[in-house]
Each structure stands twice: as structure tokens, then as C-alpha cells.
Amino acid sequence: MSKLKTIDYLYRYQGTSLDIDAVYRFLDKLNDKLKTQVEQIAFAHTLKVLNGNINIVFYDMTTLYFEASDEDDLRKTGFSKDGKHQCPQIFIGLLVGLGGYAIGYDIFEGNIYEGHTLIPFIEKISKKFNLNKPIIVADSGLLSKENIKALVEKEYEYIIGARIKNESNKTKTQILESTFNDGTTISYERADNTRLIVNYSNNRAKKDAYNRKRGLTRLEKQVKTGKLTKSSINNKGYNKYLKLEGDISIEIDYNKYNEDNVWDGLKGYITNTKLKDDEVIENYKNLWHIEKAFRMSKTDLRIRPIYHRLKKRIEAHICISFTAYCIYKELERVLYEEKSTLSLKKAAEITHNMYQITYTLPESKHTKSRLLNMNEEQTELYTLV
């Protein structure tokens, strides 16, 4: 996403010469009107790819940090998912359909609580594109009790990940009294007329046990070196296995650690939909597409860090990144449908060495273009797109 590298690319591969100031002037024109146009194009394409049906949407947020120390009305210090707590940041909210195809995005102040963004954003997008109450799928961290109540009041259906150990004692007892084998799914009715769907996986059980053991080992090292204090005793992560012996001695509660193994392999989902249990689970799994979108934006598209200071240029930077993601998704779709052996990353890389010459015929003065000789992979990509 470097503007200087873009200028270099255009000159080297497209024969177009641009001044950096011209690029910044263009960024200044990428206002809300153009953002709306970009979203409309993205939505229309997603609607086409999904055969005119957008009845389920996926929402998530991420943080983008700035290489600066000053805050302003948009850039605020807050909880950073990038671990850059000392840097000003912004939040990006992204809404996609099945398969991760983009619908829309929004930008929020860096110190906002994530849960406060969901309802206004969904309402705005639904109104803009006339969405007819799609099912909302989101991580449990975004759907607080207040958000869920608001969704129900506005007659939305939803699917969220459940924190099984936070369920009522009655529900937890029901779960522990049930028999789970690899792949078993059991649903339980909750007091608020929703369903808790619980699935068990042997592979997940092994992963959960491994992660708990690794967390325990890390705690044991910290206890041994005396790095832990009273403030370390909390319910954050594996610190829940710590306990205070006497006034100053911090020890590990091995009983609590061993008791947790009964939950290994269990994954829960809460929904108020009428979908079948396996449909709920399958739809929730689609959240990985939006997580992939954020990973792709931060690595392949290099959306961060951001060096812009002016609000309108920050917004333009995000708009360009959103557009690039939409193009990436379309390239990914074409490669998949054509059963190409090229990966998305490889397809993007090989375009850097595809050259075209433009020449003018001496007599007719007509201008023509011609691609230089391409290798097998480049020929395949050129044929596909």
C-alpha cells in the first residue's frame, strides 16, 4: 500500500509517470461519495457471485496502528489487537457474505468498545443495500448481552460462539452428563428461548489439552522465577489457574487445572435461528473468511502501519485497501473455479514480470500494444483473467 512504490510500479510496468503530489491530491478526492460507489460496486458483485441471495452476513473488527505518537479525533490509543498499545490506532469494521465476499466497511475511533459498533453498522448497511434482516454471525466478543437484546428487539437472527463454561450450572450439568464421541453434536434449550449447540471433536480435544499444558508450563516458569504478583491472579487466559497461599505466596491451583479437562474438545454455538444444528455450525465456521481478510490485508496488501495524518487521507487509504481486497477475492474465485494450480499469492507475484510494449506504426500512426513472451504460468494467468 506504499504510495511511492505504487508510483514506481506504474512507471516501471505501465509506462505512466506520476508525481507524489498528484497521488495525494487523488487521495483527497476519495471522499464519502467515492467510498459509497466502491461499496455499491462491491455489493453488486457479491450479490451476483452469491446468486442474488445475501441472507447471512459475517461481521468482525480489527485495529490498525499509526507510526505516530499524537492522537486526534479519529486516532486514539486503546486495546490493540496488533500489540501496539502505545500507538494511536483506528478500528475497522468489515461485513462480508458467504465465502468472504465483501459487502461494506466502516472506520471507528481507536478507543471505542467493539460491541458498540455492531448495531449501528448493520443498520446502516441494511438500509443502504436494502438487506432484508440477514442472519448475523459474529464472534462472541462482539455480541454482548446488550447487543443480543438489541438484535432481538430489531428482529434479527444471529449465530455466535458460546463460552460454555459461562453457561448456567444447570446447562453445564446437562452437558457433562451427555455422551460425546468424535463428531457428536447435541443442542440444549436455554432460558431465553435460544439454543446452545455443542459439538465434540477428538482433534479439538488434543489441541485444547496441548494449549492448556503449554499455558501451565509458562505459568510454572513464571512462578519459579518470582515474576508474578497479586495482580496476576485473575481470569485472563491461563492466569485463572493461579491462587494466593497466605499473604504473599502465589501458587498454581492444579485441581482447577485438572478439572478443566472435562471441557476439552467441546465447542459451543448460540443461536435464535431455526436452522439445523449442522447448518449453524457450518455457517459459524465461515467466520474464518473474514479473519483471513484481515490477515491478507495486513500481510499481502500491507495495509499497516499507516503513516498518514489527515483524516481524509486515512479514509482514502482504507478505501483503497478495501478495493484491493475485493480484487483479490475475485482473483481467488477465478483461480478456484478454473481449477488453476496457481495460488493467489503466486498469481499476484508473476504479474510483476509480465511485460507489454506499446508502439506506434510509422505510416498509420496507430498505437498498438503487445505482450512479450510469457512463461507457462504467466500464459495460464493471462488466459484466465
3-class SS of residue 190: coil
> What class does CATH assign to 31-157+274-337?
alpha beta
Residue entry with cell 448497511: 125
Mean pLDDT of 150-155: 89
Judged against a pLDDT cut of 90, whether residue 56 lies above it is answered with yes
pLDDT at residue 160, as a whole number: 92
Q: What is the mean pLDDT of residues 148-166?
A: 90
Residue 58 has pLDDT above 90, yes or no: yes
In the predicted structure, residue 309 carries a pLDDT above the cut 50 = yes
Residue 60 near residue 290 (C-beta atoms within 8 A) = yes
* Of 40-44, 88-92, 127-131, 351-355, the least confident: 351-355
How many other CB atoms are there within 10 angstroms of residue 339's CB atom?
6
How many angstroms separate the CA atoms of 205 and 341, rounded? 34
What pLDDT does residue 75 have? 41
Q: Which of 194-203, 210-219, 340-349 has the lowest mean pLDDT?
A: 340-349
Question: Residue 340: its pLDDT value, please?
Answer: 86
Residues 6+ positions from 75 with CB-CB distance below 8 Å:
66, 68, 88, 89, 90, 110, 314
Q: What is the mean pLDDT of residues 31-42?
A: 83
Angular region, 157: left φ>0, alpha ψ -120 to 50, beta rest: beta
- Alpha-carbon separation of residue 341 from 227, 351, 358, 380 (angstroms): 51, 16, 31, 10
The string of pLDDT tens digits covering residues 228-241 is 766 676 667 777 88
pLDDT tens figures, 261-303:
999 999 999 999 999 999 999 999 988 888 777 666 555 545 5
Across the chain, mean pLDDT equals 82
Is residue 46 within 8 Å of 102, Cβ to Cβ? yes
pLDDT at 311 over 70: yes
Label residue 137 by pLDDT band (50, 70, 90): very high
- Give the helix/strand (H/E) hosting 384: helix 376-384
**Cβ atoms of residues 56 and 283 within 8 Å:** yes
- Residue 207's identity, in one-letter code, is K
Under 8 Å between Cβ of 324 and 338 = no
Q: Is the pLDDT of residue 162 over 60?
A: yes
> In this predicted structure, what is the pLDDT of residue 264?
96
| pLDDT at position 84 over 60 | no
Confidence of residue 77 (pLDDT cuts 50, 70, 90): very low
- Quote the DSSP letter at residue 306: B
User: Distance between CA atoms of 302 and 285, rounded to whole angstroms?
Assistant: 26
Residue 107, C-beta contacts closer than 8 angstroms, at least 6 positions apart: 74, 90, 91, 92, 93, 314, 315, 318
Higher pLDDT, 61 or 65: 61
Calculate mean pLDDT across residues 73-85: 46
Per-residue model confidence (pLDDT) at position 288: 85
Percent of the chain at pLDDT > 90 equals: 33
State the average pLDDT over residues 23-37.
Answer: 75
The dihedral built from the CA positions of residue 175, 177, 183 and 184, taken in this order, carries a sign that is: negative
Specify the amino acid at residue 47: L
pLDDT at 304 over 60: no
* Spans of all domains in the chain: 31-157+274-337, 160-199+265-272, 205-261, 344-384
Better-predicted residue by pLDDT, 9 or 128: 128
Tell me the three state secondary structure of residue 308. coil
More confident residue, 218 or 228: 218
Structure confidence at residue 41 (pLDDT)? 95
d(CA 357, CA 92): 40
Lowest mean pLDDT among 62-66, 155-159, 174-178, 374-378: 62-66
CA dist list (Å): 98 to 135, 138, 141, 338: 11, 13, 21, 20
C-alpha cell at 205: 480435544
Pick the closest to residue 62 from 102, 97, 90, 100 (CA basis): 90
Per-residue pLDDT at 81 exceeds 50: no
Q: Is the dihedral of CA 7, 12, 18, 21 positive or negative?
A: positive
Alpha-carbon span 331 to 95, nearest angstrom: 19
pLDDT, mean of residues 183-195: 93
Please check the confidence at residue 30 and state whether its pLDDT lies above 90: no
Measured distance CA(39)–CA(129) in Å, rounded: 10
